[in-house]
Structure 1
Amino acid sequence: MRDADEFDAFYAGSAQRVLGHLSAMTGSRAEAEDVVAEAYARAWDRWATVRECESPEAWVRRVAYRLAVSAWRKAVNRLRAHRRDVVGQQAEASGVDHVAVVAALRRISADQRRVVVLYHLVGLSVPEIAVEVDANVNTVKTWLARGRRALATHLTDDDAYQTTGRGSSDVA
């Protein structure tokens, strides 16, 4: 019973954080909920091994991300339909800045989005990210730099102005 209590404490202490990370990585809270639930189920099945990892939370996050990638590969058409469906939904956010960042994250490549989230939202170092994504440190640095640059282009005031559909002739 000690294992169940230990796992329950681990889950309670990390599930919301991992869900937030995967939501940002995938761009879809619904997909993130599915893969995070499956990743925690797998962690429970392997708890004796997972709890011995340096970071069980990173193990769950990595498994959840891999599950998401597998789902993308198997269901590209379903993903496109889902994204079209999500466009009209009201965003769950704490403010305009959050909405803008999430929208910008959706516009950059998956690798860049993943390392930007791990670095800026999760707080991992570049070497820790390299281990988690199974990539060279220099590759992670490149993805991070390119991701930041891409985000910057999507987060400018000009871009926000253009998305409102207003042009200079619309100004009163």
Structure 2
Amino acid sequence: MTHLNAIAEVYAGSFRRLIVQLYAVTGDLNEAQEVVQEAFVRALSAPERFVDLENPESWLRRVAMNLAHTRHRRRRTLDRLLRRVGPPPVVPDFSPEHVALMAAMRRLPAGQRHAIALHYLVDLPVDEVARTLDVSVGTVKSRLSRGRTALAALLNGPAEFARSGSK
């Protein structure tokens, strides 16, 4: 049996049980699923050591519990900090246009999507986008131009959006 088959067997036999146990600890089903999944990811990162464990489920439980405790501590720290800062800003509901734009953005190639997000949504100048993405200014300008054209086609929007220059 390969290491991955052994991990798959442990997964099949213990995943649900671990979720139930961590759900009882965290009180949050999503949190329980995330920490158990992360424990399995860690097992997959060193499968030779994992399959040699005397009790792999116990190891997974301990890792998941430690992850849950760490995440809880970090959340508490963040909560304390946020209480000092004050209430969070009010975020308006997303308009149908915004939802359509985000759906169209997801259809763009990653390079165009990143350039458009950083330039138009984060409002970074082209040279800062280039530094952030570790590409040339010319590459950013090209991605912005192609991205605007693609977005205009995806959104069936006005042609002037596709022709508008970058900031």
Normalising by the residue count of structure 1, what TM-score does the alignment of the two structures yield? Answer: 0.43
Structure showing greater radius of gyration is 2
Normalising by the residue count of structure 2, what TM-score does the alignment of the two structures yield? Answer: 0.44
Q: Which has the higher contact order (CA 8 A, sep 6+)?
A: 1
